[in-house]
Amino acid sequence: MTAEFTGSRVLVTAAAAGIGRRTAERFHELGAEVFGADVDAAGLATLPGGIGRRRTDVSSEADVDALFDEALAALGGLDVLVNAAGTAGPTATVEDSVPGEWRACLDVNLYGTYLCMRRALPVLKREGSGSIVNFSSTAGLFGYPNRSPYCASKWAVEGLSKSAAAEAGPAGVRVNTICPGAVAGERMDRVIAAEARLTGVPEQEVRDAYVRLNSLHTWITADDLAGTVLFLCSAAGAKITGQSIPVDGQTQGL
């Protein structure tokens, strides 16, 4: 696989930390030319040398346009787009949620994914090949209480991706989604803390429940997800498009 990605041109959002960072690092380690974007400029600054970077709010059309203008110039084109940018959104019942917070979650998770795809697809279609990997979630497959904007955004990413796959397939471009389960890290820690506050259940009980909800009784790691991205973008995944790939230890739902 090392030689396979040598010279590939890859753009990764949310590259400053977590899943996006590990994905950018893995492509870079395998010889790809990588450009990373994130709203966290300080985090981007710590990426390994040789990875391009630009601070970007993916919910801003102007920011995304500036990102693609710079990244395409730096990379000389594009072979892979990984849309890893996302936000957990508020934890509240539907009736208690704040409209502005609800909308902000969709702006990042759904509209941001659309804005990046909107710029990437014409480039990939002209190339006659390429792969887009969008991040949904098991929340895009099940309903979760007290997480309605996050669930709604991730279900919508599924529909967006399947539609784009049908449109882009004749041009040789593939579009898939990855649906992570509970991913170990700071973001999940914040989700658990918010859920514990809302429900009055101790944090450790909430944490344990997430593990019990999958058959492997394990947390998912950024490395697990980066490996799946690499597979989908490799020759081994060349005939996979329009699919939703759960990486969740087989979540059983709620």
Active-site residue (options: 111, 114, 150, 210): 150
Q: Pick from 169, 160, 144: which is nearest to 94 by CA? A: 144
Q: Is 94 exposed, middle or buried (0-12, 13-18, 19+ CB in 10 A)?
A: exposed
Asked about 210 being catalytic, the answer comes back as no
Q: Is 130 exposed, middle or buried (0-12, 13-18, 19+ CB in 10 A)?
A: buried
Residues linked to residue 80 through DSSP beta bridges, in sequence order: 10, 131
Which DSSP state fits 92? B
Sheet containing 80-83, strands listed edge to edge, beginning at the edge strand earlier in sequence? 52-55, 33-38, 9-13, 80-83, 130-135, 173-180, 244-247
Report the catalytic residues: 150
